Structure 1
């Protein structure tokens, strides 16, 4: 299928799964739909230019961003909690079809804790914003979601707090909600942020590159073109383009490079990272997908062979479209909420 058809099918799947939830208000369905994208990142999914389709199994990922909730009690939002129920239902539906059709992981695009990040690795916001929604402290009807690994990204709001604490939280033992009179059992958190920027090899020959775009943009703005992260990123993208073992490359930044809504593409990322991704596509073998949050919408754009996914509406939705005419002509394939007239 075409990239646009793949995304449409994904959104229909999410909406259908959410509609099965009892007593779910239509506006909540909209929040879930805009915040969640079930992206087919391998054969038959979003693809680079002139890459032949294959019959290889699919890799399914949940992509969402800006899951930071709120900075006052109850530290989550109705949209965020409804999103978790919708994700659980998607996992249940996929699991019931075929074992090869299950969702492998979730990728979160940053702004993990609003408004000012965390202060330490024991900050209550890990429990009150992340674990009670996506993790082991969630209710029993999100047990599939709790066991799904979450590849985390740092956003600009996370940098207002202690970034090292978010890194240290990876691998923490978290107590499950225990029945009265019983000792709680412990599970390892599904939060996975081993470093500020890192690489992971996923199934089906997919490589995930997660960056710290807040730091990267600052370094590039200061003319530090040979900064450690930029050198690392350039090396990893070119290495993936040259490896026969990698068919699909997912590059994650919190800040988008293309956006028809709020927060137009960051100029430094457009100047440096966009040509690098297009260079990887030009070889004709690699599928390249750029994923971002920051803009509280759901978008799919395609430009010069690279697919751009923006999914940053987990906690709230923004209806403004100040950059509607600033994206390359013909690049916008999907936008939700749609442009108001």
Structure 2
């Protein structure tokens, strides 16, 4: 785990190298389900279109890091740290000079767990921009030129809830190791209880709420949602469903779903399983080249912008900083 001082320094060095102005904001891109295909050429047209637009977003909007929301390698992850998929699906695709100095912070999805997740963590020692230190971990930073702080808690929702089979009903069947799941829940409870930051973000692969093909994740509704509400978390970020969604509950908690890095699915089959009024934005146009999210955190608020790979801004919303306790 990097201390916030080292993390801020890393962000500032990346910003200076990329040449965009340093203003009092922390910025990042969030993209999920971008992991190509297991046969040549090992990438898709949507993935390459997203990579191109992400580079443009870094140059024009700024991004201190990229948050990878899982399903990094379709369909069965990687074998080892020397697997050619790292080169052909990641390095060769996200190769624009604007992306070379931007660190990626990675978590695992259900397709990653069908392979060797430890190999993805080991790749952190191979690539200077791939950071995946453990199954779940915390990042903390201050918004530049301010005292506002941000905590980002990255979870392994597959370990918490189980591996889902997208070619069956897609429902997680429960954790493979209940003991490991209990340890992660305990870690999360402790982290949230200790967080005094102005913005607290939690990220995982599975959604809490989703109107799309996979729908809400019952395990997260039961165990995670009460913690998010109790500790007044700013937003939960995820992927898994292959589209873009923004949902918000009555307390103002935001749910940012960014799973359009490789596939697009227009489904709204679980719309009735999401409380009325929660869904604020949904985009799953089948002819689209996909998209991702740009987040900008200032001392006062967090702006979330959904960008299509064509360059079009689809939707923008803002979330306030947490009240001081």
TM-score of the superposed pair, with normalisation by structure 1 = 0.69
Alignment-derived partner of residue 170 in structure 1: 124
Alignment-derived partner of residue 146 in structure 1: 100
1:271 to 215, 218, 222: 222
CA distance in 1, matches of 2:71, 2:174: 21
Alignment-derived partner of residue 302 in structure 1: 248
1:292 equivalent in alignment to 2:238: yes
Alignment-derived partner of residue 198 in structure 2: 247
TM superposition shift of 1:58 = 2.4
Given that 1:280 and 1:288 are in contact with CA atoms closer than 8 Å, whether structure 2 keeps it comes out as no
2:54 to 87, 112, 131: 87
1:316 to 250, 257, 263: 263
CA distance in 1, matches of 2:193, 2:92: 39
Structure 2 counterpart SS, 1:120 = coil
CA distance in 1, matches of 2:275, 2:34: 28
1:237 to 177, 192, 199: 192
Given that 2:265 and 2:285 are in contact with CA atoms closer than 8 Å, whether structure 1 keeps it comes out as no
User: Alpha carbons of 1:147 and 1:166: their partners in 2 closer, same or farther (altered >3 Å)?
Assistant: same
Alignment-derived partner of residue 48 in structure 1: none
CA distance in 2, matches of 1:221, 1:171: 31
Alignment-derived partner of residue 129 in structure 1: 89
For these two proteins, the number of residue pairs brought into alignment is 247
Given that 2:267 and 2:284 are in contact with CA atoms closer than 8 Å, whether structure 1 keeps it comes out as no
Equivalent residues in 2 for 1:27-66, closer than 5 Å? 57-66=24-33
CA distance in 2, matches of 1:253, 1:220: 17
Q: Which runs of 5+ in 2 are unaligned?
A: 1-22, 144-148, 163-171, 287-325
Structure 2 counterpart SS, 1:249 = strand
CA distance in 2, matches of 1:270, 1:252: 14
Q: Which runs of 5+ in 1 are unaligned?
A: 1-55, 95-101, 173-187, 282-286
Alignment-derived partner of residue 98 in structure 1: none
Q: Over residues 1-43 of structure 1, what are the superposed CA-to-partner deviations in whole Å (9 max), with x where a residue is unaligned?
A: xxxxxxxxxxxxxxxxxxxxxxxxxxxxxxxxxxxxxxxxxxx
2:65 to 74, 99, 105: 105
What value does the CA root-mean-square deviation take over the aligned residues? 2.0
Structure 1 counterpart SS, 2:92 = helix
Q: Over residues 175-200 of structure 1, what are the superposed CA-to-partner deviations in whole Å (9 max), with x where a residue is unaligned?
A: xxxxxxxxxxxxx4311101011101
Structure 2 counterpart SS, 1:156 = coil
Alignment-derived partner of residue 329 in structure 1: 276
